[in-house]
Each structure stands twice: as structure tokens, then as C-alpha cells.
Amino acid sequence: MDRIDYFARAVEEAPQVARARFGYGVELQRAGRYTEAIAQYRAYLDLQEDEGNAWGRLAESLAATGARDAAADAYLAGIDQAIKFGHHSMADELRAALEDL
């Protein structure tokens, strides 16, 4: 069983488990399945407050689909969350990615 199948099964069995949604999103993004990854990141973010990482991954996936405005919004949300949780280097990375958008 590959990692996408593993996480797909985990989400199917327990859709309310945020970490399964996040892991599934990561694997879908790695496979270039950005639209599906976006859905999983959004589901994750609906279930759990994120410290910035998922917002950045969501932004990357949105940018890959051409949704630049939505990607910028996700980067901004990620910057706010990273700062809120004291992850200033992550906030700097997200700012740089936003500038490169």
C-alpha cells in the first residue's frame, strides 16, 4: 500500500482526525494532485488550529492551480498563525514565499 492509499483509508475510516487529513494533503501535494490536496488541507484547518505549516502548504497548492489571490490569503493566515505561536522563522519563510508569489 502506498502512502496516498494509506492516508486515504485513514481519512475514510476517521474523517474527523485532523492529522490524517494533513498527512493525506501532504502526500497528494507531493504527487502533484493539488486540487485534492487543497480539499484535505482545508478539511484539516476546519478541524484544528494550525501553527502555520498547513497554511503554507495550502498556499503552495493554491498557487500551483493558479489561484494566486487565495494563495496570498493563505500565506497571510499562515504568517499570523506562525507569529501567534512564536514561530518567527516560519513566518519569515511564509513572507518570502508570499513575496515570490
Model confidence at 1: pLDDT above 80: no
* 3-state secondary structure at position 50: coil
Query: Residues 43-87: pLDDT tens digits?
Result: 999 999 999 999 999 999 999 999 999 999 999 999 999 999 999
Query: Residues 26-47: pLDDT tens digits?
Result: 999 999 999 999 999 999 999 9
Query: Residues 42-52: pLDDT tens digits?
Result: 999 999 999 99
The pLDDT of residue 40: 98
pTM: 0.95
Q: Is the CB of residue 74 less than 8 Å from the CB of residue 55?
A: yes
- Count of alpha carbons within 13 angstroms of residue 65, beta-carbon side: 19
What residue ranges define each of the domains in the chain, with the CATH number in brackets? Answer: 3-100 (1.25.40.10)
Cβ-based neighbour number of residue 77 at 10 Å? 19
